[in-house]
Amino acid sequence: MYREETIAAISTPLGEGGIGIVKISGERALEILNNVFVTKDHHQKVSWEPRKMYYGFIKNPESQEIIDEVLAVYMKAPNTYTKEELVEIHCHGGMVPLRKTLQLVLEQGAGMAEKGEFTKRAFLNGRLDLSQAEAVMDLISAKTDISHEVALGQFEGLLSREVQGIQEIIKDMLAHIEVSIDFSEEDIDEVTMDQLLSKSMDAKKSFQGLLQTAKTGKILREGLVTGILGKTNVGKSSLLNALLRENRAIVTDIPGTTRDVIEEQLNVRGIPLKILDTAGIRETEDAVEKIGVQRSREIFQQADLVIFMIDASKELDREDYDFLHLIKDRRALVVVNKTDLKEAIDLSRIKSIIGDKKLVRISLLKNKGLEALEDALEDMVYEGEGFSKEQPFITNARHQQAISRGLQSLEDGIKALENRMPLDFVEGDFKNAWESLGEVTGDTVSEDILDHIFENFCIGK
C-alpha cells in the first residue's frame, strides 16, 4: 500500500566527512525532532523558530543514551525544499553517530526515505519545475527494477521465510479472531484470550529473535570492528599481515565500504572484519615494552571484537592479567603466539580467568594455528549471537524498521489482550503487526486471512 509518511535519510554523501546531515520531511518532522533532541542542560524545551540553528544533543528517549552533539534546524512548510515540514540534524561526521541518529529517528516513526524521494516530494508539492519531472520518474522506475531484483532475492532468502513464519502465527490468530466475529453463530470453538496470549507470546519471541539478528546483519553488512591488542612484540603486526595475506578484503566501490586509512578490511570466511588502528599496531611494534594503555582502552571501547595476544614464552605481568579480566564480558578471544618457543605462561590460570572465551595457540613464525584461529573467529560471530550460518539476518535498515514496528504493534495487542479489551480491538493491533511484516515480504493481509478462514473452518449455511 502506498503511504505518505514522514520520511528521513542521511542526506550527505556516505563516508567520513566533517559533518553529516540527517534530513526529516513530512508532517511529523518536528514532533520527531522534539522526541530526540535535548538542549545542553537536557531539560529546556525548544520553541523552534524556523531556519534557526539550535545547539544540543541527540538523546535516545528510552535508554537516555546521548548519541551525538548536534546542531538542528527546523524549516516550516511550505518554504522548504520538499514544501513539507523539514528538519535537518547536523551530526558529527562519523558514520556511527549518523547511523545511530537516523536509526533513532526511524524508531520514532519516520519511514526510511527511498532513493529520490525528497526530490519526488519536492516535485509533487510544486517545488521543482517540469523539466525535472522526467528525471524523477526515471529514478522511481529504475528503483523499481532494482528493488524487484532485491525483492526476488529476498523472497528466496532466509529472512523472508522467517518473517513468513511469524506472519503465519499472526495470520492464524487473526483468522481465529475474525471467524469468531464474522461467524459467531457457527459451531466453531471460539478462541480464548489465553490461547491468543500464548500464541502472541510465541510470535513475540520470534520477533525478538529476528531483531537480534539485525546486529549480526549489520556486522555482515558493515564489518565487525576488531581490535588486536597485546604487548609490543607479541606479534600483532605479524598476525595482521598473516590475516591480510590470505584474506585481504576486495574493496569495492559500493558506498560505505570505502577503505579507511586507519583501518584494514579483511574477510575471514565471509565475515568482514575492520581492524582498528592498524597504523598504531605497526608503529608501536618496536617501541617501549608496554601496552599503549590509553590507545588500548580506546580500541577496546570501540571494538565489536577483541583479539588479545599474548606471548607463550614470557610470563604474564599484572597488566596482562588485568586485561584478561576485562575481556571476560566481551566478544573476545585470546591468541597465544610463539608456541614454537618454550612455554612460560600459566595456561590454566589464564583459562580460569577467561572462562568460556576461546583460546587459540598459534605460531606465526612457523605458520601454525591460523586455521584454528579462523575457526574460532567464525564460531564467535555466529555462535556468539546464537545463530548458525543457516539462519536469516536482517541486513536492511528498512526491514529492521518494519519488523520493529511490527513488534511494537504486537506488544500493543498483547497489552490489549491483558487488559481484556474486546477482540475486535485486539485484532487491529495484530493486523498492523502483520502488515508491517508484509512490508518485508510484500504480502497484503485481508484476502489472505479470508482464504485461511475458508480453508480451515467449517462454516456456512
Partner 1 sequence: MNFYNGGSYDVVVVGAGHAGCEAGLAAARLGLKTLVLTISLESVAMMACNPSIGGTGKGHLVREVDALGGEMGLNIDKTFIQSKMLNTGKGPAVHSLRAQADKLQYHLQMKQTLENQVNLTLKQGDVIDLMVEEGKASGVKTRNGAEYHAKAVILATGVYLKSRIFMGEVNYPGGPDGLATTQELPDNLRSYGCNMRRFKTGTPARIHGDFVDYEKMTEQMGDEENTPFSFMNQALKIDQISCWLTRTTEDTKFIIEENIHRSSMYRGDMESVGPRYCPSIEDKIVRFTDKATHQLFLEPEGVHTKEMYLQGMSSSLPEEVQVAMIRSVTGLEKAEIMRPAYAIEYDCIDPTDLQLSLETKAIENLFSAGQFNGSSGYEEAAAQGLVAGINASMKIKNKDPLILDRSEAYIGVLIDDLVTKGTNEPYRMMTSRAEYRLVLRQDNADLRLTQKGYDFGLVQQERYQRLLVKREEIEQELQRLKKKKVTARELNPILDTIGSSEVDTSLSLYDLLKRPEINYKVIEPLYAESKDLMQDVKSQCEVIIKYDGYIKKQLRQIEQFKKLENKRIPDDVVYERIDSLRTEAKQKLKSIRPHSVGQASRISGVSPADISVLLVYLEQRKRGNKNV
Q: Which of 343, 428, 443, 448 binds partner 1 (CB under 8 A)?
A: 428
Q: Are 94 and 141 in contact (CB under 8 A)?
A: no
* Residues numbered 161-180 forming contacts with partner 1, rule: CB under 8 A: 178, 180
Nearest CB to partner 1, comparing residues 111 and 392: 111
Nearest-approach distance from CB 81 to partner 1, in angstroms: 16
Q: Does 350 bind partner 1 (CB under 8 A)?
A: no
DSSP state of 363: B
Q: Does 288 bind partner 1 (CB under 8 A)?
A: no
Backbone angles phi, psi at 133, to 5 degrees: -60, -45
Q: Which stretch binds partner 1 (CB under 8 A): 184-192, 313-321, 331-339, 368-376?
A: 184-192
Give the number of other CB atoms < 10 A from CB of residue 319. 13
* Residues numbered 25-84 forming contacts with partner 1, rule: CB under 8 A: none
Question: Is residue 77 classed exposed, middle or buried when 0-12, 13-18 and 19+ CB atoms within 10 A define those classes?
Answer: middle
Nearest-approach distance from CB 458 to partner 1, in angstroms: 4
* Contact string (CB under 8 A) for partner 1, positions 111-130, x = contact: ---------x--xx-x---x
Q: Does 363 bind partner 1 (CB under 8 A)?
A: no
CA gap 266, 48 in Å, rounded = 46
Q: Does 446 bind partner 1 (CB under 8 A)?
A: yes
* Contact string (CB under 8 A) for partner 1, positions 123-162, x = contact: xx-x---x--x--xxx-xx-xx--x---------------
Q: Which of 69, 172, 186, 340 binds partner 1 (CB under 8 A)?
A: 186
Q: Does 181 bind partner 1 (CB under 8 A)?
A: yes
Nearest-approach distance from CB 18 to partner 1, in angstroms: 34
Sheet holding 264-268, edge to edge: 264-268, 271-275, 224-230, 305-311, 332-337, 358-361
Q: Are 106 and 8 in contact (CB under 8 A)?
A: yes
Nearest-approach distance from CB 446 to partner 1, in angstroms: 6
Q: Which of 47, 63, 64, 184 binds partner 1 (CB under 8 A)?
A: 184
Using the CB atoms, write b or e for 96-119: b if 16+ within 10 Å. Answer: ebbbbbbbbbbbbbbbbbeebbbb
CA gap 405, 403 in Å, rounded = 5
Nearest-approach distance from CB 277 to partner 1, in angstroms: 44
Nearest CB to partner 1, comparing residues 191 and 326: 191
Question: Is residue 382 classed exposed, middle or buried when 0-12, 13-18 and 19+ CB atoms within 10 A define those classes?
Answer: middle
CA gap 421, 413 in Å, rounded = 9
- Characterize the bridge pairing of strands 305-311 and 111-112: unpaired
Give me 106's grid cell: 526511524
Amino acid at 72: A
Nearest CB to partner 1, comparing residues 143 and 199: 143
| Long-range residue pairs from 149-158, CB within 8 A, at least 24 positions apart, any chain | 151/442, 154/440, 155/441, 155/442, 157/392, 158/390, 158/391, 158/392, 158/393
Helix (H), strand (E) at residue 229: strand 224-230
Question: Is the previous residue joined to 97 through a cis bond, with omega within 30 degrees of 0?
Answer: no
Per rule CB under 8 A, count of chain residues that contact partner 1: 44
Nearest-approach distance from CB 371 to partner 1, in angstroms: 48
Nearest-approach distance from CB 80 to partner 1, in angstroms: 17
Q: Which of 1, 250, 254, 261 binds partner 1 (CB under 8 A)?
A: 1
Give the number of other CB atoms < 10 A from CB of residue 241. 16
Nearest-approach distance from CB 124 to partner 1, in angstroms: 5
Nearest CB to partner 1, comparing residues 238 and 409: 409
Nearest-approach distance from CB 2 to partner 1, in angstroms: 4
* Residues numbered 262-281 forming contacts with partner 1, rule: CB under 8 A: none
Nearest-approach distance from CB 197 to partner 1, in angstroms: 17
CA gap 395, 403 in Å, rounded = 12
> Which positions lie near partner 1, rule CB under 8 A?
1-5, 120, 123-124, 126, 130, 133, 136-138, 140-141, 143-144, 147, 178, 180-187, 419-425, 428, 446, 449-450, 454, 458-461
